[in-house]
Structure 1
Amino acid sequence: MKAKFEKIPESTDSSFRAFLYEKESFDAPWHFHPEYELTYIIKGKGIRYVGNSVENFEEGDFVLLGTNVPHCWKNTNPDIKPVKSIVFQFNDTILGQGWMEKSEFKNIKWILDKSSRGIKFNAEVSKKFSKKLVDILHQSALEKLLSFLKLLESLSFAKPQKFLITEGFAPNLNNKTNHRIHSVFNHVHINYDKKIKLQHVSSIIAMSDEAFCRFFKKSLNKSFFTFVNEYRIHMACKQLIETHNPVKQIAYSCGYESLPFFYRQFQKFKNCSPLNFRKNHLNAYNKALG
């Protein structure tokens, strides 16, 4: 996807933006901005792209992103309308210049530094802070700022946390590069359930097969077909959770022509078999219901 620069509008009554996003779909393009961003999904399911990470998301998804990290959320279930999320966007001058260097803010500085790799908080943390996130939206400007700083401080101690972006990955924000990535991502998104040929994908962006493979690996720090399989496995996980379809049917519907290869790829990305994935998710769901 093309990482489009987004100019975040300034708030007239606050030093940062805090708002409820509510639309028919998550329609923001693959984009980046110099502001940090904290996003909590209230309603919606789909695929989350952050840097070179591709993962499923659902209600309760809670992610902190650093400055200029390309990202977007794309819902894959058209029946869930409207989608909703709470979004906080802020820059490193929220309290003026040099505030993060003061000892009182060392924990906030730590987590903001780590957010360059994208931080996903687990379900327990998400549930713990969900009400506070909603409350902040309705506070006065000063209360909102103080509550938000306390929230960041608390999140710095929240464990466990998961980094989304591969260590050492540096996003390429060159417009030409991002336009090409945009075209490739869109092709995979539309055609993941079919046979994807390298020759066809490379021709879309007018490159030779060899040049395209080098370009993609350099851009995302992973091979093109690793990305394709990663995307397909995430779509398979979605079906394992949301349907009772047999594994064989799911594998074929996600573009796999070989069942043994599907099992190997699933084990590679999820460290378990498809049936164990489904069983573990069902057990976790039943446990949550008490």
Structure 2
Amino acid sequence: MKKIQEEKIIFENELSFKSSFPSLRNYFFWHYHPELELVYIEAPHGIRNVGKHISNFTESDLILIGPNIPHLNFDYGIKTHYYQAVIQMKTSLVDVLMDTPECNKIKELLERSYLGLSFKGKTKKEVARRIKDFKSERKLDGLLDLIKIFQILAESNEFDVLNTDDMRVRLCFHDKIRMEIIYNYVHENYHNKLNVHEIAQAVNLTTSAFCRYFKKQTNLTFTNFANSYRISMAKIFLLQNISVSEVCYQVGFNSISYFSTLFKKLVGKTPMDFKSK
């Protein structure tokens, strides 16, 4: 079993922030770091997991992650083309912004970031545009652009709070090890009939204790999570010119009508409509 990893972020000389375009789609990377992180990703779908929060995103996602919050890389498992940009800030820069009176709104934003924030609407579109134009090598100009991005986020009410509890590193590492085992099990077996007794045994819990534990960690039942993951995988296969019926069985469903009903419930359109669009 792997323990959650502390990511060591290396900054260039004379820079207190870093922008990068990581590609870790085949790597299950549970990690944390003391630096603040802003992530923007464009993909047909993906898994958003910050602290104890687990959910799916579609088309794009803009996430602010506070210092030392365990999170999974947002491109994990994505098989299609995607764009991902990550901006990370040294703790010293965060401290300066927190102590600057002109940045009071940003200070409030940073104080909320330990819960994990997901932005949407016009805010996401505007910040996405600025992130794509962002040039960290411009140093001072880049810093000013970054402050402007955070000012836009700070003045927005278009966001969801992902956690209700403080998710910083004091979150029990053992929980993260268990969740990694569960994720890997679902990822490797979603096309088969998932056995809740088997996964409960793998994490050393009784079946009833596992069900309670998983619901407490994710606010989802294991069945709902597994079905959501299957539908996410179905989106990938539908984009690969595979028929709806083939996809249905390929992601572990035995009934095309149930698959179609669940797909529409979670995605908002039928598999055929999604495939056509």
Q: TM-score, normalised by structure 1?
A: 0.76
Counterpart position of 2:73: 72
Partner amino acid for 1:21? F
Q: Do the aligned residues in 1 keep the contact of 2:23 with 2:75 (CA within 8 Å)?
A: no
Partner amino acid for 2:194? I
**Partner SS for 1:138:** helix
**Partner SS for 2:204:** coil
Which of these residues, 139, 144, 147, is aligned with residue 146 of structure 1? 144
> Which runs of structure 2 are paired with 1:1-290 in the superposition (5 Å)?
3-9=4-10, 11-16=12-17, 18-22=18-22, 25=25, 27=27, 29-41=29-41, 47-51=46-50, 52-56=53-57, 61-67=61-67, 68-76=69-77, 85-91=84-90, 93-94=92-93, 96=95, 99-100=97-98, 102-115=100-113, 116-121=115-120, 124-125=125-126, 127-133=128-134, 136-140=135-139, 142-157=140-155, 161-163=158-160, 165=162, 168=164, 171=167, 173-240=171-238, 242-278=239-275, 282=277
Q: Please list the CA deviations of residues 227-268 of structure 1 after superposition, one character each: whole Å capped at 9, or x if unmatched.
A: 11111111122333x134333322221111123332343243
Q: Do the aligned residues in 1 keep the contact of 2:41 with 2:61 (CA within 8 Å)?
A: yes
**Partner SS for 2:247:** helix
Q: Distance in 2 between matches of 1:272 and 1:45?
A: 14
Aligned residues with identical type, % of pairs: 25
Q: Which runs of 5+ in 1 are unaligned?
A: 283-290
TM-superposed CA distance for 1:215, in Å, is 1.7
Q: Distance in 2 between matches of 1:256 and 1:224?
A: 16
Q: Distance in 2 between matches of 1:125 and 1:244?
A: 33
Q: Do the aligned residues in 2 keep the contact of 1:28 with 1:73 (CA within 8 Å)?
A: no
**Aligned-residue CA RMSD in angstroms?**
3.3
Q: Distance in 2 between matches of 1:28 and 1:14?
A: 29
Q: Do the aligned residues in 1 keep the contact of 2:215 with 2:222 (CA within 8 Å)?
A: yes
Q: Distance in 2 between matches of 1:225 and 1:100?
A: 42
**Partner SS for 1:73:** coil
Name the stretch that deviates more: 175-184 or 107-116.
107-116
Q: Distance in 2 between matches of 1:249 and 1:203?
A: 31
Q: Distance in 2 between matches of 1:75 and 1:95?
A: 28
**Partner SS for 1:74:** coil
Q: Which runs of 5+ in 2 are unaligned?
A: none
The alpha-carbon distance between structure 1 residues 270 and 112, as it changes in their structure 2 partners (threshold 3 A), is farther
Between the two proteins, the alignment pairs up a number of residues equal to 268
Q: Distance in 1 between matches of 2:47 and 2:159?
A: 14
TM-superposed CA distance for 1:65, in Å, is 2.0
Partner amino acid for 1:8? I
Q: Do the aligned residues in 2 keep the contact of 1:46 with 1:56 (CA within 8 Å)?
A: yes
TM-superposed CA distance for 1:188, in Å, is 0.6
**Partner SS for 2:47:** strand
Q: Distance in 2 between matches of 1:2 and 1:118?
A: 25
TM-superposed CA distance for 1:216, in Å, is 1.4
TM-superposed CA distance for 1:157, in Å, is 4.5
**Partner SS for 2:171:** coil
